[in-house]
Structure 1
Amino acid sequence: MSSSPTVPTLSIGEAISTLMKHGMPVRFTAYDGSSAGPEDAAVGLHLVNERGLRYILTAPGDLGIARAYVMGDLQVSGVHPGNPYDGLVLLLSQLSFRRPGAAEALRLLRGLGLGHLKPPPVPPQEHLPRWRRAVEGLRHSLVRDAEVIGHHYDVSNRFYEIVLGPSMAYTCAVFETADATLEEAQAAKFDLVARKLDLQPGQRLLDVGCGWGGMVMHAAREYGVKALGVTLSLQQAEWAKQAIDAAGLSDLAEVRHLDYRDVVEDGFDAVSSIGLTEHIGVRNYPAYFAFLRDRLKPGGRLLNHSITRAHNLPTRTGAFIDRYVFPDGELTGSGRIVMDAQDAGLEVQHTENLRVHYARTLQGWSENLVAGWDEAVAEVGEGTAKVWGIYMTGSRIAFERNEIQLHQVLATRTDETGESGYPLRHTFGV
């Protein structure tokens, strides 16, 4: 004779209240009719159904909450899903859970019903966990890198047009004035890179991880440089080719669907890497910098632009970012980048931290997503649009709080006599 299911004896609101150190800063309500937190709170959370509770209980931390949110099982009021900045700041600043002991945790789970410990299917936007990816290919192998890059960048070119704006630049902009627009700041970023590389008409530039070709087209159009860009995203390469042809730059600019490690040409005057280093893995930095060094002619320059940590320990991204945004992503500090560049035979000439600029860039992207929300949802679905809203907002807050940074590192391939071709003082302005 089968036993009847256990009836929950603890409300969800009671369980939440039990785990809060300093009380609930937002209004929380649940499908069982329970609640917690002040009724007049500016931000509200509503747990819609039992599936949402199962997501949260079976994947504690940001992953379970993200799953419930993406699937619509956890609803947020008081903020726009495309830019939930105010709500997320409030939660990160004031939401403080205490960790229960084993006996208390078991009591809480029994009170909520142990049947909730069966995980629901994960949302379709979620990538495989790291251990599953390892079964399918070595981390940062050519095949696996192509697959995870496609997961992030092959969402929809139209979706990226909505979020990024006309520049289609998916990296930190440079705001030369407080009132600069996002488009002006992206153009300033490309020009800063060009000036640091001291690009001159007739030179050759290699742009690795070139995205939609923004740097390639800027170098060709503004500096008369013959520029080659490579990207692992097929959708990016196809978009870039059309943009290059439309701009009449096909005689100078080219974008290939190619892994940077498969570039066979060398003797470039300059190499730019804008937003690629985050994807290659810290243990691969020595090989990465050695490969780029070998693409340069003596006296050539490398500009490496990448997200960094505020410390120099290799750190993988959290579960939400790894599963939904940047699979296999890994960050470390600028010191490690400088060290590995030097050990590869490059002479580092200049470093710059653009952390606050990236926070402003993300604010601009979030505002674009809000303005184009209905079209974005029609293009990629509400779940994916919500992933981007929370990812960009969370990243903005991390830059504001100096949890992550953005560094440009400028280096030269100095020849065997010690000649780098670098002037006595920087010529690009600082």
Structure 2
Amino acid sequence: MFTTRRLLTLLFGPAVQRQFHVRYWDGTLEGPPRPTPATLVLKVPQALRRMLLPPSDLALGEAYIFGDFDVEGNLEHLLAQAVSLGDKLLNPLVAAQVFALLLGLPGEPRPAPRPAFESRNPAHTKDRDASAIRYHYDVGNDFYATWLDEKMVYSCAYFATGEETLEEAQTIKLDRICRKLRLKEGEHLLDIGCGWGGLAIYAAKNYGVRVTGITLSPAQAEVARARAEAAGVGDKVSIEIRDYRDLEPTTRYDKVASVGMFEHVGLAKMPQYFAQIYRLLKPGGLVLNHGIVKEITPAFVHWGFGLLERYLNSRSFIQNYVFPDGELSRLSEVNLRAEHAGFEIRDAENMREHYALTLREWVRRLETHHQELLDRGLVDEVTYRIWRLYMSGSAQSFAAGRIGVVQTLLAKPWPGGEAGLPLNRRDIELERA
């Protein structure tokens, strides 16, 4: 325990000054005399070694999901403390001391099962994309339903005041998308990556449009179709299991929404993605492209002319356990590809603070249903921990500005340049009558 205590002091300072408590494997508790948001529970003497060697979020994540350590209280708060170590460890003297102390801890290997996602196809081919999507979304409809809102919207909500319930915030978000697209009764909307049908059903029911929703997940499609029928819009909403690349431009759409999907496209495939949407859209049409982008990269990541960033990307917890082949780009890179396809950028709204609030509510609901999820056999403890860690870490990244989520409105003007948009955004911001 002596070596572990020295390590914690070196990394986080004296126990009485830390922002969290620590409970050791023998039950000893140490920390400041005041309450803190979280307690780090080290289950075994080798916990810190497994968490920090080799240094990566994959090592930390595996140590958590396989039970070497636990977190009581606010996991996001503790992850923020861990992120703060990056710049400190670039000091060679500190890094050398930490490495020496880690090697002094017990080093028994922990046999850990590997992630289930496997594919021999190259990244972002149709077959591999379908496998990656199903790996994430086919965990189980009932699992997602325990912590999502009643519409099962699995993307960033919009908190107009910060006081809304999750259900209210998701409804506001769906309505803002419809307003930004200036949906009109009788129009045909394409919903790329339609999920469980939340946007498609809302748009059909409240704006009178026909909707074609596409997903690569059969589990999602089944629920989306049933929900559309139950909502009385089964005749207006068509849900297909289809890759966006397989849509034929023989059908042209008035408007297109892509919400929380383009993170799966990959930067190399982005020109093809926007070119396909451009072909599918009628002149004068609008596209709402909503997704996560890279924002501020921590200074320590730039070390070694990008070598450290490439190393960390190769040992990513989210890539291995949550979103295989997921790829974040900068907004400037995404919008450049959209412009090259012929689109005009008309509006962009960064909603990262909203996503932090959304994720915190998802985590709260997930934690509330922890035992229920296990008792019903919906997931095992490892899967529960994967989602708790991934969503808590994502909330912290959005709050800190390392990643953002942006809704970009794209127009395909008529040949003469007419885009058909109003001179102001009043129709988006004013409440509906």
Partner of 1:394: 393
The change in CA–CA distance for 1:87 and 1:55 in structure 2 (over 3 A counts) is: closer
The change in CA–CA distance for 1:72 and 1:48 in structure 2 (over 3 A counts) is: same
Tell me if 1:250 matches 2:234.
yes
The change in CA–CA distance for 1:12 and 1:305 in structure 2 (over 3 A counts) is: same
What amino acid maps onto 1:405 in structure 2?
G
Q: Report the Cα offset of residue 105 of structure 1.
A: 6.7
Rounded to whole Å, the distance in 2 between the matches of 1:336 and 1:109 is: 40
Partner secondary structure for residue 336 of structure 1: helix
Partner of 1:111: 104
Partner of 2:50: 55
What amino acid maps onto 2:333 in structure 1?
R
The change in CA–CA distance for 1:22 and 1:345 in structure 2 (over 3 A counts) is: same
Partner of 1:16: 7
Alpha-carbon contact 2:57-2:317 (below 8 Å) kept: yes
Question: Residue deviations 1:303-334, cap 9 Å, x none?
Answer: 10111222699988671221122222221222
Partner of 2:331: 334
The change in CA–CA distance for 1:352 and 1:105 in structure 2 (over 3 A counts) is: closer
Rounded to whole Å, the distance in 1 between the matches of 2:171 and 2:333 is: 28
Q: Report the Cα offset of residue 91 of structure 1.
A: 4.6
| 236-245 vs 417-426, which moves further | 417-426
Mapping 1:262-341, distance limit 5 Å: 262-265=246-249, 266-310=251-295, 319-341=316-338
Q: Report the Cα offset of residue 424 of structure 1.
A: 3.6
Alpha-carbon contact 1:208-1:271 (below 8 Å) kept: yes
The change in CA–CA distance for 1:20 and 1:363 in structure 2 (over 3 A counts) is: closer
Q: Report the Cα offset of residue 45 of structure 1.
A: 2.7
Alpha-carbon contact 2:296-2:401 (below 8 Å) kept: no
The change in CA–CA distance for 1:301 and 1:41 in structure 2 (over 3 A counts) is: same
Question: Residue deviations 1:172-210, cap 9 Å, x none?
Answer: 111223322111111111111111111111110100011
Partner secondary structure for residue 331 of structure 1: coil
Given the two structures, how large is their TM-score scaled by the length of structure 1?
Answer: 0.85
Mapping 1:15-414, distance limit 5 Å: 16-17=7-8, 19-20=10-11, 22-23=13-14, 25=18, 26-31=20-25, 42=36, 43-49=38-44, 52=47, 55-56=50-51, 58-77=53-72, 79=73, 84-92=75-83, 98=89, 107-108=100-101, 111-112=104-105, 116=107, 119-123=109-113, 126=115, 136-265=120-249, 266-310=251-295, 319-378=316-375, 379-414=378-413
Rounded to whole Å, the distance in 2 between the matches of 1:264 and 1:239 is: 25
Alpha-carbon contact 1:45-1:74 (below 8 Å) kept: yes
Rounded to whole Å, the distance in 1 between the matches of 2:77 and 2:44 is: 25
The change in CA–CA distance for 1:97 and 1:386 in structure 2 (over 3 A counts) is: farther
The change in CA–CA distance for 1:94 and 1:38 in structure 2 (over 3 A counts) is: farther
The change in CA–CA distance for 1:254 and 1:119 in structure 2 (over 3 A counts) is: farther
The change in CA–CA distance for 1:34 and 1:174 in structure 2 (over 3 A counts) is: closer
Rounded to whole Å, the distance in 1 between the matches of 2:407 and 2:152 is: 20
Rounded to whole Å, the distance in 2 between the matches of 1:104 and 1:337 is: 42
Alpha-carbon contact 2:46-2:105 (below 8 Å) kept: no
Rounded to whole Å, the distance in 1 between the matches of 2:398 and 2:135 is: 24
Partner secondary structure for residue 420 of structure 1: coil
The change in CA–CA distance for 1:121 and 1:428 in structure 2 (over 3 A counts) is: farther
Alpha-carbon contact 1:71-1:123 (below 8 Å) kept: no
Q: Report the Cα offset of residue 71 of structure 1.
A: 1.6
The share of aligned pairs that are identical, in percent, is 38
Partner secondary structure for residue 151 of structure 1: helix
Partner secondary structure for residue 428 of structure 1: helix
Q: Report the Cα offset of residue 41 of structure 1.
A: 6.7
Rounded to whole Å, the distance in 2 between the matches of 1:58 and 1:85 is: 21
Alpha-carbon contact 2:284-2:414 (below 8 Å) kept: yes
Partner secondary structure for residue 396 of structure 2: helix
Rounded to whole Å, the distance in 2 between the matches of 1:406 and 1:57 is: 29
Alpha-carbon contact 1:13-1:29 (below 8 Å) kept: no
Rounded to whole Å, the distance in 1 between the matches of 2:41 and 2:12 is: 20
Q: Report the Cα offset of residue 54 of structure 1.
A: 6.3
Structure 1 vs Structure 2 CA RMSD: 3.1
Rounded to whole Å, the distance in 2 between the matches of 1:55 and 1:127 is: 21
Rounded to whole Å, the distance in 1 between the matches of 2:253 and 2:226 is: 25
Q: Report the Cα offset of residue 120 of structure 1.
A: 3.0
Question: Residue deviations 1:376-395, cap 9 Å, x none?
Answer: 23321222112222221221
Q: Report the Cα offset of residue 253 of structure 1.
A: 0.2
Alpha-carbon contact 1:348-1:409 (below 8 Å) kept: yes
Partner secondary structure for residue 356 of structure 1: helix
Partner secondary structure for residue 300 of structure 1: strand
Question: Residue deviations 1:32-54, cap 9 Å, x none?
Answer: 89987558774433332367566
Q: Report the Cα offset of residue 76 of structure 1.
A: 2.5
The change in CA–CA distance for 1:242 and 1:253 in structure 2 (over 3 A counts) is: same
The change in CA–CA distance for 1:127 and 1:62 in structure 2 (over 3 A counts) is: farther
The change in CA–CA distance for 1:88 and 1:225 in structure 2 (over 3 A counts) is: same
Partner secondary structure for residue 320 of structure 2: helix
Alpha-carbon contact 2:48-2:102 (below 8 Å) kept: no
The change in CA–CA distance for 1:201 and 1:91 in structure 2 (over 3 A counts) is: same
Given the two structures, how large is their TM-score scaled by the length of structure 2?
Answer: 0.84
Alpha-carbon contact 1:14-1:36 (below 8 Å) kept: no
Partner secondary structure for residue 351 of structure 1: strand
Partner secondary structure for residue 306 of structure 1: strand
Question: Residue deviations 1:344-374, cap 9 Å, x none?
Answer: 0011111111121111111221222233222
Q: Report the Cα offset of residue 152 of structure 1.
A: 1.2
Alpha-carbon contact 1:70-1:123 (below 8 Å) kept: no
